[in-house]
Each structure stands twice: as C-alpha cells, then as structure tokens.
Amino acid sequence: MAELIRLNKRIAALGICSRRKADDYIREGIVFVNNEVVTDLGTKVDPDVDIIRVEGVHVPSKEKNQTLVYITLNKPIDYISSTTSEQGASVLDLITAENYYKPKYRDDTKKLTGVRLYPVGRLDKDSEGIVLLTNDGELTNQLTHPRYEHEKEYDVSVDKGLTPDVRKILSKGMRIEGEQYGGMKIKKEFNKGRRVILTLVLREGKNRHIRKMLGRLGYNISFLRRTRIEKLTLGTLPIGSWKFVKKTDIL
C-alpha cells in the first residue's frame, strides 16, 4: 500500500485544482472517495487504490504519465479568469492555435489535447496582462496561498500623484468593509500626460485588491495591467496571445 496523503493534496496532484479549491469542493460535499461523499478536510487516501470523483467527474487513481503544461497569456480586458464562460468570455477561449505566439510551430499546440488547464489566481474582467494557466495543482497552490508571499507586479494609471499619507497607507495596508487588505510596494511613480503611472508589487492578492484600496483613497484608475508573476514577465507577448513556458521560468 502506498503512503496515505491528504485528499486535497491528491486532488491537486491530479491537476484538478489547487489545494485550497479542493478544500472548498470537500466542504460543498461534491468530492467522493470510492463512491462515498467526503466532507472531512483531514481525510487521507491511498493514491494507488482509492478512486476519487469531483463534481461527478471521474479522476483516475493514477496520473498515468500526466504531462504538466505551463502557459502564459496576455489577457485582454473583458475576459474572466475562469474555466467556464457562465459569466462572460473565459481566458480559456483564447487558447487556440490562431493565438499561439509562434505561428511556425502551431503543431506544438497538439500537446494540449486532453489537458485541463486552470488559471492561477485571478485577474478581474476590467484588467489586462499576464495570466498563468497550468494543470499543475501543486504549483497553483504554491502561487496562490498567502503564506508563500509570491510577488505579482502591476502597472496602474491613476488620475493624480500619491501624497505621503497615501504612500504610507498603501505600504502598510488598510481595512475595507471589515477585511484587511495587505500593503504593497510602490516601485515606481511617474507622470504620463495628465495621468500618473504607478508600478505596484503585491505579495498577496485579494479580489480587486488594488482597485479597492486606491478607490477608497480617492483615486480613479483608467487601466490596470499585470506585468509579472514571480519570475515570469509579460515581456513583448502581444495582447490576446499565449505561449508555452517552463516551470523554471516561473519560480
């Protein structure tokens, strides 16, 4: 018998989702082990024996030489970081041969056949920039869990410069509607016409984190672009295009 492992870790290893998302599924009662629903977050399974189902989808008991895939996408505005199109066009809709960054090598896109990709973290519908997609659940957990504090960098256009007091608040963080939003590093600030461009670095990322903090402080954002996730940078990748990257390019 193989060593028993936590159920959420097993689900992540199979590329279904991150450990945190797996915990959500377990709480919701949509995870089955050997045809029995499991709601205990501490459940352990045998990866060689136990059969796992999530939302009625059969998950094989072994990976069977699963190929891990890593993709970087330059997300346009109006696309959502979701695996479904229920609330609008999904970033997955852009992962086509036509949008592949290297037209001469479009045959490479065949390696995506049968692969279920998941966006790592969120980038809201009104924002653009780098999105990482992968079937590596362990990497997803590592990049999205707050305790790892991986950096994400953004360029933001606002309507006025930062005052000393605003800089202090942005750096230390603030409470919004009873929830604590962590501070950010202000890397750059410069004028561009009538707008001010900020380069901000987050080590955690709540939903619309930058927009909520700057909005609460009286700033109007005209665009927000994510340019980096840890080591992985947007570079010259055209908007709406994607390419394969290596795990070593990310961490």
Catalytic residue of the set 23, 24, 46, 124:
124
- Distance, in Å, from the CA atom of 126 to the CA atom of 83, rounded to the nearest integer, reads 17
Q: Specify whether 124 is catalytic.
A: yes
- Distance, in Å, from the CA atom of 227 to the CA atom of 238, rounded to the nearest integer, reads 12
Q: Give catalytic residue positions.
A: 124
